[in-house]
Amino acid sequence: MKENYRVIGLMSGSSLDGVDVACCDFWWKENSWHYKVIEGKTYPYSEMWVARLQQLPQQSLEVFPKTHAFYGRYLGQLVNQFLQETKLTADFVASHGHTIFHQPNAGFTAQIGDGAAISAICGLPVVSDFRSMDIALGGQGAPLVPIGDQLLFGEYEACLNLGGISNISYKTNNKVEAYDISPCNLVLNKMAQILGQPYDNRGMLAKSAEPNLELLNQLNALAFYQQSGAKSLGIEWVNQYIWPIVDQFKQLNELEILASLSKHISFQISSVINEQQIKSVLVTGGGAFNEFLMQQIQENTSAKLVIPELELVQFKEALIFAFLGVLRICNQNNVLCSVTGSNKDHVGGALYGNFNLLI
């Protein structure tokens, strides 16, 4: 095992903001892993890529492998662009890909972005497809971030990510617990876009209206929120459960719906924090910039909510997938069965390219 690794982490979330690219250093010292984010950039999607990724689940069969390959080449080009712009070098790339299907109960998940294509374009070895092994072992394929939370951010009682989906990880009785809590930016951004904005800047749109109590009660009554143990959400769940409820409230305007969704999200998050008696929470992801959402969460819990430096807020998931890549090539477990529900802790991720000099 090398003493240190420099890795490019790639992350694309369900909110379709763009691709996060982060160059990160990792090293093992005094029996623990350490990290540094050297530089990170977000490359927004073009209108073409947004439409292509949104429409892919409904496309004909042959379009899927074609887009998988083309998107891999696109990611490889972004790595090249990032390295040229920053004048940096790296040992390898670790890519989450972009989730198109996530149906663990049906036994499959699909993150596009062919690792072979990424490697061929950027000339670096690539680790990708982190979720498939967990699904094959009977797990949810998510969340994968908690092992990084425990090994890199153990000074906090919990780590909360406010991305397209909100998710949390924490340790209880020497066991890591983690799961998706609720939709987050996936629904907030959609409502903001209906209102003519790419997202709800600082939550000011939601703040300008009153939530509807009946809509809020119906959302909070969804069966998912009563489930315990390993559980994960995808866009399919949102389309099947959230929007049909919202569609029943045609008398409400878009601002009232947005306010209700924001209140719903903050209620579910604060409920989890309170139930687990968590005292300190590291908050990252785009939702950390939503001041109104953060205010609503804080009003309902006494826990200390810590928003770290800008780079960590923006690039924590890219950082952690880079770290999962390091664990993968070191042949160390990078998926915890206690959080995904699979039948054992294991090593996930497919390798493309020559890793011989790194192992």
What are the DSSP calls for 279-308, one per residue? -EEEEESGGGG-HHHHHHHHHT--SEEE--
Mean pLDDT of 53-73: 96
| 59 secondary structure, DSSP code | S
- Alpha-helical (H) ranges within 100-183 are 115-122, 132-136, 146-152
- The full 3-state SS of 173-238, as one line of letters, equals CCEEEEEEEEECHHHHHHHHHHCCCCCCHHHHHHHCCCCCHHHHHHHHCCHHHHCCCCCCCCHHHH
Binning the chain into helix, strand and coil, the percentages to the nearest 5 are 45, 25, 30
User: Is pLDDT of 359 > 80?
Assistant: no
pLDDT the model gives residue 16: 85
**CA-wise closest residue to 73 among 112, 121, 16, 126:** 121
Query: How sure is the predictor about 322, in pLDDT bands with cuts at 50, 70 and 90?
Result: very high
What is the distance between the alpha carbons of residues 331 and 333, in angstroms, rounded to a whole number? 7
Distances 170 to 126, 156, 211, 281, 285 between C-alpha atoms, Å: 29, 8, 30, 9, 17
Annotated domain spans of the chain: 4-142+315-352, 146-311
User: Is pLDDT of 14 > 90?
Assistant: no
Half-sphere exposure of 305 (CA within 13 A, CB side): 26
- For 80, the enclosing helix (H) or strand (E) is helix 63-86
CATH of 146-311, one of 1.10.10.10, 3.30.420.40, 3.20.20.70, 3.30.420.10: 3.30.420.40
Instruction: Return the SS3 of 110.
Output: strand
User: Is pLDDT of 45 > 80?
Assistant: yes
pLDDT the model gives residue 242: 98
pLDDT in tens, 295-314: 999 999 999 999 999 999 99
Structure tokens at 309: 């430096």
Return the ∠ at Cα 165 (arms to 23 and 118), rounded to 5°: 35
Strand partners, 179: 168
User: Is pLDDT of 51 > 90?
Assistant: yes
- Do the two domains 4-142+315-352 and 146-311 of this chain adopt the same fold? yes
CATH code for the structural domain at 4-142+315-352? 3.30.420.40
Tell me whether the omega of the peptide bond preceding residue 143 falls within 30 degrees of 0, making it cis: yes
Q: Which residues have C-beta within 8 Å of that of residue 143, sequence separation ≥ 6?
A: 167, 169, 178, 179, 180, 232, 339, 340
- Residues written for the chain: 359
Query: How sure is the predictor about 171, in pLDDT bands with cuts at 50, 70 and 90?
Result: confident
What is the distance between the alpha carbons of residues 307 and 301, in angstroms, rounded to a whole number? 16
Instruction: Give the residue carrying structure tokens 């997202």.
Output: 199
pLDDT in tens, 216-260: 999 999 999 999 887 888 888 999 999 999 999 999 999 999 999
Residue 332: CB atoms within 10 Å:
15
| 171 secondary structure, DSSP code | E
Strand partners, 309: none
